[in-house]
Amino acid sequence: MLYIKFALPFILWAWVLSSSYSRYIVPRVLSVYDLLEGLENKKSGKTRSLHVQGTSFLLRIVLFFTQMYVLTAWSAYSVLRAMRFAQLPETKGWIYYLSAFFICEGALGVVARKEEYRGFFSILHTIMAMGFYVIFAFNPYLMKNSYAWLMRVMGMNF
């Protein structure tokens, strides 16, 4: 019964994250990438200068870090949820971590599947978010700097 309290809401949140991110965020990001590619491919001589390419690269970096932070928050949430249930005395911890891994990676996989490959920075944020589940699971103290707000919301202190 306790496992159902863990898994059902978690699967629901995974579905909400993957479907809403894929439906609302991914098309906006793709439109920004379309705009940047249009600016880079213009054949107007000097306007394709270092200024245009530098601005395009800077916007790609900002998009990358913003998306990585948002998607890595899902990985941090998954680890914190597994930790909260694994700390209960009547449970076996490994089943929660393993289930959270599959649910987290499944939701991020749905997001990754909806994204279109537009160069290295267009997919790296999803790959990094997938990897951060393992990093946070093995060393949860790394969440303290970036996701202290999430730890407070979930009532986890360590």
- 151 close to 80: Cβ distance less than 8 angstroms: yes
DSSP 150: H
Place of tokens 């790394």: 142
pLDDT at site 21: 95
**Would 133 be classed as within a structural domain?**
yes
Nearest to 12 by CA among 146, 121, 106, 128: 106
- Tell me the per-residue pLDDT of 105-121, one tens digit each, with 9 for 90 and over: 999 999 999 998 887 77
Residue 50's pLDDT band (cuts 50, 70, 90)? confident
Coil, strand, or helix at residue 158? Answer: coil
**Would 70 be classed as within a structural domain?**
yes
The structural domain count of the chain equals 1
**Would 39 be classed as within a structural domain?**
no
Q: What are the helix (H) ranges across 2-146?
A: 2-20, 26-41, 50-86, 93-114, 121-138, 143-146
With a cut of 70, say whether residue 59 has pLDDT above it.
yes
**Residue-wise DSSP of 3-24:** HHHHHHHHHHHHHHHHHHIIII
CA atoms of 137 and 154, how far apart (whole Å): 16
pLDDT at site 92: 80
Boundaries of domain holding 120: 65-154
**Would 84 be classed as within a structural domain?**
yes
For the chain, the distance separating the N- and C-terminal CA atoms, rounded to the nearest angstrom, is 27
**Would 37 be classed as within a structural domain?**
no
**Would 135 be classed as within a structural domain?**
yes
**Would 104 be classed as within a structural domain?**
yes
pLDDT at site 48: 60
For residue 110, report the phi and psi dihedrals to the nearest 5 degrees: -65, -40
pTM above 0.85, yes or no: yes
